[in-house]
Structure 1
Amino acid sequence: MKRYFLLILLSLNVLTIFAQSTLVDKTRSFRQANEHQLLQEFMGLLSIPNVVYDTIGIQKTANYIVKMMEERGIKTQKLDATTKGVPPAIYGEVIVPNATKTLVFYAHYDGQPVNPNQWAEGIKPFEAVFLDASLEKGGKIIDVPKASESINPEWRIYGRSASDDKAGVFTILSAYQAITKMGIKPSVNLKFFFEGEEEAGSTHLEEILAKHKDKLKADLWVICDGPVHQSGRKQVVFGVRGDVNMEVKVFASKRPLHSGHYGNWAPNPANLLVNLLATMKDTKGKVLIKGFYDDVTPLTALEKQALANIPPPDEQMRNELGFVRAEGDGKSLAELISLPSLNINGIASANVGKMVANIIPTSATAALDLRLVLGNDAQRQVQKVIEHIKSQGYYVTTNESITDEERLKYPLIARVQAKEGYNAQRTKMDLPIAQLIIKAVQSTSKENIVLMPSSGGSLPLYLFDKHLSTPTITVPIANHDNNQHAENENIRIQNLWSGLETYVALMSIQ
């Protein structure tokens, strides 16, 4: 009897694999027949400035996406926050009769600020262009392919938000377009949610989720953001790190001083600051701040096994990035992103290069980025840093200006300001809905996909647990070398096509 049952299961698996393989083939045929039109629409989306603080550009981007959705027959509306003037979330839904599950597909349409002068010659952030390879491999700008010309999947498209995260919006909507054009009825209710404030920390997302709670009910949120694994394999990610940013500014003299007349006597704030920062981490990258790792929730046995199964990208990435010794005292990259981190995003004090002057500056500032894992609390982690600064002899204030009384009373003064930040989130890997997602993504890949307990990046996904009691799983599509948040952001075309196949499969889960 047991043998007979196993034969039935094997037969069902074969049939499932065959059906899924057929779905991938159908999707590929649809894409090949429509890839010029798909990329033309994508290039149009990339041409609209979408810097998160540019309200006009954000509104234009939102309107373009609404048009994309309505052209696909998706019932669409904008969801406002309680606060006025906040970028809306764009919402759409496709309700399937007799469907027993509902998935919400999330991406964000805002982008990071840009400095056009930092981009490569001939590439402008909001005038997307094709390159025949990545810049690092000597890629050159090429003409937009004509309808009669083939498109090389190894080409890149360069432009702000090409990967983060207009690629996510494009992939989700193109997957739904493919399903309808192929005559496939979705197996689940589909909802779409495109946020317009993610790059500013999703400041008002909580308001939007709370205000529209009933409309956003679902069994799972599928997040399309971030890169695939460095090996190129597709991955399913079950959590994200939290994030909170701090600014530490130390003060010395009230005015700049001649470095010859006052050097060796007047305190130099740049020197003070780098010495302070050096007390926060050792030479192997371990954070030395008291209690920094104390409240970390340990990985489960299943999560530890998933980490052990991940193909290690460490050597590949060291060679790619050009350094010999990594931090972490021998721990792998996958292990280290499961721990909280402290990163110096930038340091400023006076000038360098052609603008350098022989002075002792008045202040020095460091921007700190604290990545959080499950168990950490954003404000508690900030307070640990503040207490550490105090332990180094500093008087700490949050005030914008420093009074003369404070200057004459305290030898070491630091102003510390922190943003609100948000905590980490992690979904259990053994949930039944999670297994369906894994199965769907695996059906589109000949290689074993990567199961990642948590990504190194951050999204405020804890809010979906808090307000909607709904788990989230991230299924990224972008190439790992996409330069997100930086100059020369790009997307490899094959990643768009592979992502399309993935999201068609996700919209067809059984």
Structure 2
Amino acid sequence: MFFCSEATFLAPRRRTHQKGLISMNAPLTSLFLNPGMVANLGVPNILSGLPPTVELGSVVEGFGQAIEHAAPNYFTDWAESARRLQELLQRGGTPEKFQRLQSSLSGIIDELGEDELNAVLAKTGWKPSEQFLKDRSPVKIETTMAYVDATAGVVIHELAELVAAESVSRPGSKTEATYDSAEWIKDRMTDLGFKDIILLEAENSNPSVFGQIVVDPKAPTVLFYAHHDVKPPGGEWKQVDPFKAEVHNGRLFGRGAADDKAGIMAILSAVQAYQDAGLKLPVNVAVLFEGEEEIGSPHLDKILEVLKTRVQDFQPNVVVTCDSMNMKVGLPTVIASTRGIADLMVTVQSVAQGSHAGRNSYAMDAYQAFSALIYNMIGSYGELYVWGLTDCAPEIPISFRKSLDKLAELITLDELRDAAHMSHDANFLVPREEPTVQDVLGHTWRGYAMKILAVQGAQDIENAAGMIVPKVKTLIQLRIPPRVDSVQAALILIKTLQEKAPKGVRVDIVVAGEIVDPWETKIDGPAANALLSALDMGYGREAVLGGSGGGIGFLSIIGKHFPEATVLPIGTEDPLSNAHGPNESVAIENVIGTARSIVAFLYNISRRLG
């Protein structure tokens, strides 16, 4: 943006000159105005018509003020890049650093919508060149996204082929069908020109597929994650074969269609679009398609260790995971937080042994004892209430509150009930007498919840006798909001369960499985803003920030191995997808919208981080 053949930018003068740095004692004409450099960087020339000499700092500041007024969503990114540029102007720096920062600033202007750009230009008084307007990223992105639209039928056909691989994953054993889906993906990646394609495995694991396209070792790298394993079909399906995809009313039905084979196809379709458009990818692209997500990613930690051994110095700048849910069909959503999980096996014993239920009806049976125990932790509106836990849950961040207000205009309480298969007169388990959409979603994303997943007693219904049941074993699951220590939360619940037990009742508790920490990502950085902007373009409507009431274990594992990367979850699912249940489906417009958004994101992130 700040390359201008008609202007000489003067930097503040310095008394010293450090070896290897650009001297600040002369105008930066050679740095800022080199036409060849401009062509190589692909940075648009927006500031044509500047006076012959202008101080760069004042230009940056002027545009910053205009952006804050006309396009506030972009101001945080602008201010940070401008601050770093001003620091370089003060102390000096290499040409590469100046180029990167100017490219970042240019990219922000480049992404502005038509109305935003016009407002910024009106406030600053500058007039963009015709070439800049012609080369603006929305124009390039629209051209490339059109190739996604043109091949939508092929994409859905290939998704049906991938659904046909019955890649069910099961704990403790390999599934041969996951090799079928992995090989299908590997062949498709080969067609697209991916290199370093590897089937990653650990001992007794299903295969995960990795590959990358490196366009420039110095360019940013984006890693896309999805998974190709699926849950067993289960339940009663309307179609004869859950693995033979069917299309009805704009949705493709089949096991794994939404969770998560559509995510894989959206990623590959975006790469295909760049090839069809005759363009090289703007950044380095890597993919990791896991084969065990549906059983908790038990080997992902080891698989990522193997990956870093096989592909030296692999460190992505951004990780985009395509395995989450849009808040509504066609409403693009970035999931910015998930809740943690602690499963507890709770055994309640009310009497030493069973006895006659009539003659000894004054004694409490184990089911009654368990019910009384749970009742003691229920608040006024059916929500979980545990002193020292739920009464001091973290505040909902302002960014989430804004998103909740936006969603309240788009989603009704009855739609939330429908998503949970509730009747329309059912109450919500949130601490409000008359909850709003904001209350329900806010509590789901950022509050505590406890569910009883399983109960085992001494008798089954068919063979039940008139006996006081002495002991019952239950599996309880605690959902833990972001910014809370999951282990400490589990310990508080365990202590409360033991203290709230009816007198004379024994309660034994053990932790079942691993405790999963809550997760939260940075939502005000350049990567998140580039993705939100891309989703706006890809879906043709404004994207929203969301949370997940569930826990996504692989996010923490990925974050541990790539601590410098920004991790951003998106997906193709919606409340109608019924993932894990019968009649799973994905909206075709979500698949295409996500693919289009990835096209735009690759271009956006190249400008923000390039």
What residue is the counterpart of 2:303 in the other structure?
Answer: 208
* One of 304, 311, 335 as aligned partner of 2:442: 335
Distance in 2, matches of 1:93 and 1:418, equals: 38
SS in 2 for 1:208: helix
What is the aligned length? 464
What residue is the counterpart of 1:248 in the other structure?
Answer: 346
Matched letter for residue 184 of structure 1: L
How is 1:323-472 mapped onto 2 (pairs within 5 angstroms)? Answer: 323-324=424-425, 325-328=427-430, 329=432, 330=435, 332-336=439-443, 337-349=445-457, 358-393=466-501, 411-452=505-546, 454-460=547-553, 461-469=555-563, 470-472=565-567
Matched letter for residue 96 of structure 1: V
Distance in 2, matches of 1:238 and 1:415, equals: 32
Residue pair 1:427, 1:471 contacting (<8 A) in 2 also: yes
Kindly state the Cα deviation for residue 504 of structure 1 after the two structures are TM-superposed.
Answer: 2.5
Distance in 2, matches of 1:394 and 1:66, equals: 58
Matched letter for residue 44 of structure 1: E
Distance in 1, matches of 2:230 and 2:413, equals: 31
- Of 307-316 and 44-53, more deviation after overlay is shown by 307-316
Kindly state the Cα deviation for residue 217 of structure 1 after the two structures are TM-superposed.
Answer: 0.7
- Of 383-392 and 442-451, more deviation after overlay is shown by 442-451
SS in 2 for 1:497: helix
Residue pair 1:464, 1:471 contacting (<8 A) in 2 also: no
What residue is the counterpart of 1:74 in the other structure?
Answer: 194
How is 1:245-284 mapped onto 2 (pairs within 5 angstroms)? Answer: 245-251=343-349, 259-260=357-358, 264-265=361-362, 267-284=364-381
Matched letter for residue 464 of structure 1: I
Distance in 2, matches of 1:252 and 1:61, equals: 51
Residue pair 1:51, 1:111 contacting (<8 A) in 2 also: yes
Residue pair 1:239, 1:473 contacting (<8 A) in 2 also: no
Distance in 1, matches of 2:597 and 2:496, equals: 46
Kindly state the Cα deviation for residue 311 of structure 1 after the two structures are TM-superposed.
Answer: 3.6
Distance in 1, matches of 2:329 and 2:183, equals: 36
* One of 212, 220, 224 as aligned partner of 2:318: 220
* One of 79, 82, 92 as aligned partner of 2:211: 92
Kindly state the Cα deviation for residue 63 of structure 1 after the two structures are TM-superposed.
Answer: 3.0
* One of 58, 64, 70 as aligned partner of 2:184: 64
Kindly state the Cα deviation for residue 48 of structure 1 after the two structures are TM-superposed.
Answer: 2.5
Residue pair 1:231, 1:311 contacting (<8 A) in 2 also: no
Residue pair 2:328, 2:575 contacting (<8 A) in 1 also: yes
SS in 2 for 1:371: strand
Deviations 1:418-470 (A, max 9, x none): 22132122222221122211121111233222123x33232132333333212
Matched letter for residue 429 of structure 2: E
Matched letter for residue 515 of structure 2: G
SS in 2 for 1:383: helix
Relative to 1, partners in 2 of residues 1:286 and 1:7: Cα closer, same or farther, differing over 3 Å? Answer: farther
SS in 1 for 2:384: coil
SS in 2 for 1:164: helix
Kindly state the Cα deviation for residue 281 of structure 1 after the two structures are TM-superposed.
Answer: 2.3
Kindly state the Cα deviation for residue 46 of structure 1 after the two structures are TM-superposed.
Answer: 1.6
Distance in 2, matches of 1:484 and 1:249, equals: 31
Kindly state the Cα deviation for residue 108 of structure 1 after the two structures are TM-superposed.
Answer: 1.6
Higher gyration radius (CA): 2
Distance in 1, matches of 2:392 and 2:557, equals: 20
Percent identity between matched residues is: 23
Residue pair 1:296, 1:374 contacting (<8 A) in 2 also: no
Distance in 2, matches of 1:217 and 1:447, equals: 32
SS in 1 for 2:166: coil
Kindly state the Cα deviation for residue 472 of structure 1 after the two structures are TM-superposed.
Answer: 0.6
Unpaired runs of 5+ residues, structure 1, are 134-153, 396-409
Q: Which has the higher contact order (CA 8 A, sep 6+)?
A: 1
Matched, 1:129 2:249: no
Matched, 1:175 2:270: yes
SS in 2 for 1:238: strand
Residue pair 2:227, 2:264 contacting (<8 A) in 1 also: yes
Residue pair 1:482, 1:490 contacting (<8 A) in 2 also: yes
Distance in 2, matches of 1:316 and 1:9, equals: 49
What residue is the counterpart of 1:150 in the other structure?
Answer: none
Distance in 2, matches of 1:10 and 1:335, equals: 46
Residue pair 2:200, 2:303 contacting (<8 A) in 1 also: yes
Relative to 1, partners in 2 of residues 1:285 and 1:187: Cα closer, same or farther, differing over 3 Å? Answer: farther
Unpaired runs of 5+ residues, structure 2, are 1-49, 51-61, 63-121
SS in 2 for 1:335: helix
Distance in 2, matches of 1:340 and 1:425, equals: 14
* One of 185, 196, 199 as aligned partner of 2:280: 185
Distance in 1, matches of 2:168 and 2:478, equals: 23
Larger relative helix fraction: 2
What residue is the counterpart of 2:107 in the other structure?
Answer: none
Residue pair 1:221, 1:472 contacting (<8 A) in 2 also: yes
What residue is the counterpart of 1:49 in the other structure?
Answer: 166
Q: What's the Cα RMSD here?
A: 3.1
Residue pair 2:226, 2:289 contacting (<8 A) in 1 also: yes
Distance in 2, matches of 1:69 and 1:362, equals: 59
Distance in 1, matches of 2:174 and 2:347, equals: 30
Residue pair 1:259, 1:360 contacting (<8 A) in 2 also: yes
What residue is the counterpart of 1:473 in the other structure?
Answer: 568
Kindly state the Cα deviation for residue 218 of structure 1 after the two structures are TM-superposed.
Answer: 0.9
Residue pair 1:437, 1:506 contacting (<8 A) in 2 also: yes
How is 1:472-491 mapped onto 2 (pairs within 5 angstroms)? Answer: 472-491=567-586
What residue is the counterpart of 2:227 in the other structure?
Answer: 108
SS in 2 for 1:280: coil
SS in 2 for 1:508: helix
Distance in 1, matches of 2:346 and 2:219, equals: 51
Residue pair 2:330, 2:589 contacting (<8 A) in 1 also: no
Distance in 2, matches of 1:196 and 1:261, equals: 56
SS in 2 for 1:106: strand
